Amino acid sequence: MRATLRAFAGALAVTSASFAAPAFADGEVNIYSYRQPFLIEPLLNAFTAETGIKTNVVFASKGLGERIAAEGENSPADILLTVDIGRLDGAKQLGITQPVTSDVVNGNIPAQYRDPEGHWIGLTNRARVIYASKDRVDQDSITYEELGDPKWKGRLCTRSGQHVYTIGLIASMVAHHGAEETEEWLAGVRDNLARKPAGNDRAQVKAIYAGECDISLGNTYYMGKMQTNDKEPEQKEWADSVRILFPNAEDRGSHVNLAGVVLTKHAPHKDNAVKLIEFLSSPEAQKIYADTNFEYPVTPGVEVSERVKSWGELTPDTLPLDEIAKNRKTASELVDKVGFDDGPAS
């Protein structure tokens, strides 16, 4: 145990950010997190106040799954907090997870947002939507399929096709339409690009503001981040130049992805870790989690924030997230096959 605690103390020393609850806590739980500390601190403070269990956090932007794998049985990590079904399923494929057995979690989180074998648990949703110029786009509805229509030629911006957010969307198209039809669609989307894919989701909205394109793909929560960015007020102007269109709202619903959690294979504080996962699935925590990062709770009955509600109503695609995970490899291969990141064909 002392070796484990020393290992965790060392991990804290080399990460970019960390925090812990007061030392009077009854027991502890060690968290590796891709989610920035300020996003999860309110949750962890509430958990400690309710249970007396101290939380220790290691934050990093990449490599945590591989780190847990390298640490093996000596890993101090009890849980891994991450985003995107690819990263959640990737942790399972690395062999660093164990199933969560909990009636509380199963009762709070719908099956479509849980691994069928219990190796990952979804906590909040984000939708992959269309940001549309208020000045240059009149229509109020759109479909993902429509993004391949030549009417959008030279009018679409997006980030790399190999980014996990894009792969998730393409994988959902494979699940719905098959690889052959998705390849044809993806080639059409490529040829509608205004430029080669580059930058993050906010950069696409900036490009719309600058008149470089008229629509872009992006996650919903970036609207909230831009609208409330006091440190970079120009982002508020970007956000004000666009509105959100929820694709396929009138049929299967919009593609959604997850922020979620896994229980590590060698969790040294497994009971406390399960208690934390159960807490994170509760309506109280779902509300805090979703409001802090402008996301959608996955626990039924928990209201979205007023800001998120102001963007319009989300009808989520009911496709189980494990189906998307199964098609990620095919999606990645199709991105390379059509040369998506090379930009429009000449």
**249 and 321 share a domain?**
yes
263 close to 279: Cβ distance less than 8 angstroms: no
Residues 61 and 203 in one domain: no
Same domain, 249 and 269: no
Residue 26: per-residue pLDDT: 60
> 299 or 14: whose pLDDT is higher?
299
Same domain, residue pair 195 and 165:
yes
Question: 178 with 132, same domain?
Answer: yes
Same domain, 239 and 275: no
42-63 per-position pLDDT tens digit: 899 999 999 999 999 999 988 9
Burial track 32-68 (b if 16+ CB lie within 10 A, e otherwise): bbbbebebbbebbeebbeebebbbbbbbeeeebbebb
CATH number at residue 217: 3.40.190.10
Mean pLDDT lowest for which of 17-31, 153-167, 202-216? 17-31
pLDDT tens-digit series, residues 244-280: 999 999 999 999 999 999 999 999 999 999 999 999 9
* Averaged confidence pLDDT in the chain: 91
Name every residue whose Cβ is closer than 8 Å to that of residue 282 and which is 6 or more positions away in sequence: 104, 108, 299
Q: Which of 105, 3, 30 is nearest to 272 (CA)?
A: 30
Averaged pLDDT, 10-15? 41
Give me the number of domains the chain comprises. Answer: 2
Are 143 and 156 members of one domain? yes
Is 170 in the same domain as 317? yes
Question: Can you give the residue range of the structural domain that contains 269?
Answer: 2-124+257-304
At residue 38, the pLDDT reads: 80
Tokens (6 digits) for 170: 């393409």
Looking at the fold, whether 298 and 318 belong to one and the same domain comes out as no
Per-residue model confidence as pLDDT tens digits over 157-211: 999 999 999 999 999 999 999 999 999 999 999 999 999 999 999 999 999 999 9
Cα–Cα distance between 237 and 214 in angstroms, integer? Answer: 15
Task: Give tens-digit pLDDT for 115-142.
Answer: 999 999 999 999 999 999 999 999 999 9
* Least confident residue range of 13-17, 33-37, 339-343: 13-17
Q: What confidence score (pLDDT) does residue 95 get?
A: 97
- Report the DSSP pairing between strands 215-219 and 54-59: unpaired
**Residues 10 and 24 reside in one and the same domain:** yes
pLDDT over threshold 50, residue 19: no
